[in-house]
Amino acid sequence: MRFVLSILGVSLFFGISFAQEVTIGNTTLTQRDVVTGIQVPWEIIWGPDDHIWITERRGQILRVEPESGNFTVVLDWRNEVESGGEPGMLGMALHPDFENTPLVYVVYCYGSGFSVQERLVSFEWDGMNLSNQQILLDEIPGGGIHNGSRILITDDQKILMTIGDRGNADLSQNMNSINGKLLRLNLDGSIPDDNPDPNSYIYSFGHRNAQGLCFGPNGLLYSSEHGAQSSDEFNIIEENRNYGWPNVQGACNTASEINFCNAFDVKEPLLEWSPCIAVNDIIYYDHPAIPEFENSILMAVLGGLSGGAQGIIHIQMSEDGLEATEGEKYFTNFGRLRDICINPYNGALYMATNGPGYPGSGPNRIVEYRNLDYVVSNTNDPAALNRFIQISPNPMTISGQFQFSNNFLGAYYQIIGFNGQLMEEGRVFSTELTLDLKNYTAGTYYISATNSLGTVTKTFVVQ
């Protein structure tokens, strides 16, 4: 019965190559592969259940335990989903009151060739699997390209959904078509009474193919949108506004664009990129773990058809959220980046890689970048504190390992059986401890570690 103090790096603990670091101003982020070997992750979300939820374009939904990277396939609809080229199982959102209403909203494509359609559905989560599909919006005209499909659920329980022009640009200005639009729906799929037109799903129009959507400061809604050859856009979305496509690309800055913009009150983008870099999902970052990113939008970039422009672009927002300044691009060495989510406790970033070439190919991974020096100051939040100790494997058989965050170096620890027996105690001298189980009988134990932040306890099982 003894601890063997590990002097090996963080990376070995997770069984990956040596940890890499990225510097953001004065902040150092350390890389970790959370999941590897998955196939074209399209949506990643940090769920209200503190798991990462992922759609794979080929038709699966995965639920990942962020600390261990262990995941389960909670829905396998590869036989139902059309996933050649751009179509597939795409956008996803979880019900805002997931604990009491465990519904997962998903958009996927079906059919084939030019008859591809898409639908918005919900599934029920039973703690193990997703089932009981409810179709909320069906037979949405799709296509081999430009299927939009990013969704967001608002605090007032409405679904916002981007729909692409399916390659038919004229649809975007046609108010009788839902293509090339941002839609707003009730959670049961009906049209909200307070939509701009109470008989229409359309919330804003003149879009080409928006595949990024997030809320930012002051509740403002932003989207990213793919341009054709030029003028990828970053927009503030306002109700019932025209965003110009196909008559206007990017800013109103040619003679014909200026005429159209004046006639139809077109809302110009905050930022644009030419030639196109293929802008994808966006997320609002406002966590103290990376102070350089506070009050920013982070945008996943696929890199454009010829590649080379991929990464995460830092967009610094003004305090009122009405102006945006393009900052540096980071994380440029992973190929196409499709989506990004944030750990709300420690501010870590998780990115979904999509391979080197259009429209994406597996195998792919979910990469974490985390500021290991960041101390979670809210000691009243046990979920946050528990993140300071990671246990692997759990259950364990011959030996197990604990990883402590740096701020628990020097902490006092105890390992206690559930019959109250003190198994061992000491100081945390290394971020990693290996536990030899030869004197442990099968059962449940817990480790507690105490420092100035408080006491963290975490349970593990010996088999």
Give the active site residues.
146
Q: Minimum distance from CB of 214 to Ca ion (Å)?
A: 8
Mark residues 377-416: x for contact with Ca ion by CB under 5 A, - for none.
Answer: ----------------------------------------
Q: Minimum distance from CB of 414 to Ca ion (Å)?
A: 40
- Using DSSP's 3-state secondary structure scheme, residue 286 falls into coil
Q: Which is nearer to Ca ion, 251 or 428 (CB)?
A: 251
Contact between 166 and 147 (Cβ < 8 Å): yes
Q: Which is nearer to Ca ion, 225 or 339 (CB)?
A: 339
Segment 181 to 220, residues that bind Ca ion, using CB under 5 A: none
Q: Which long-range contacts (CB under 8 A, 24 or more apart) does 133-138 make?
A: 134/189, 135/189, 136/105, 136/185, 136/187, 136/188, 136/189, 137/161, 137/183, 137/185, 137/189, 137/201
Segment 70 to 109, residues that bind Ca ion, using CB under 5 A: none
Q: Which is nearer to Ca ion, 142 or 250 (CB)?
A: 250
Using CB atoms, what's the residue nearest to Ca ion?
250
- The length of the chain is 463
Residue with tokens 């856009």: 233
Among the residue ranges 30-38, 140-148, 242-250, 299-307, the one whose residues contact Ca ion (CB under 5 A)? 242-250
Q: Minimum distance from CB of 203 to Ca ion (Å)?
A: 19
Q: Minimum distance from CB of 339 to Ca ion (Å)?
A: 4
Segment 261 to 300, residues that bind Ca ion, using CB under 5 A: 281
The CB density around residue 264, as the number of other CB atoms within 10 Å, is 16
Cα–Cα distance measured from residue 354 to residue 341, given in angstroms and rounded to the nearest whole number = 15
Mark residues 327-356: x for contact with Ca ion by CB under 5 A, - for none.
Answer: ------------x-----------------
Q: Which is nearer to Ca ion, 283 or 372 (CB)?
A: 283
Cα–Cα distance measured from residue 36 to residue 53, given in angstroms and rounded to the nearest whole number = 14
Q: Minimum distance from CB of 304 to Ca ion (Å)?
A: 18
Cα–Cα distance measured from residue 116 to residue 350, given in angstroms and rounded to the nearest whole number = 31
Q: Minimum distance from CB of 250 to Ca ion (Å)?
A: 4
Q: Which is nearer to Ca ion, 249 or 364 (CB)?
A: 249
Residues in the interface with Ca ion (CB under 5 A) total 6
Decide: is 368 part of the binding site for Ca ion (CB under 5 A). no
DSSP per-residue codes, 214-238? EE-GGG-EEEEE--SSS-EEEEEE-
Q: Which is nearer to Ca ion, 253 or 399 (CB)?
A: 253
Alpha carbon 313 to its chain's center: 15
Mark residues 245-264: x for contact with Ca ion by CB under 5 A, - for none.
Answer: ----xxx-x-----------
CB within 8 Å of 79: residues ≥ 6 apart:
59
DSSP per-residue codes, 389-447? EEEESSSBSSEEEEEE-GGGTT-EEEEEETTS-EEEEEE--SSEEEEE-TTPPSEEEEE
Task: Give me the residues that bind Ca ion (CB under 5 A), please.
Answer: 249-251, 253, 281, 339
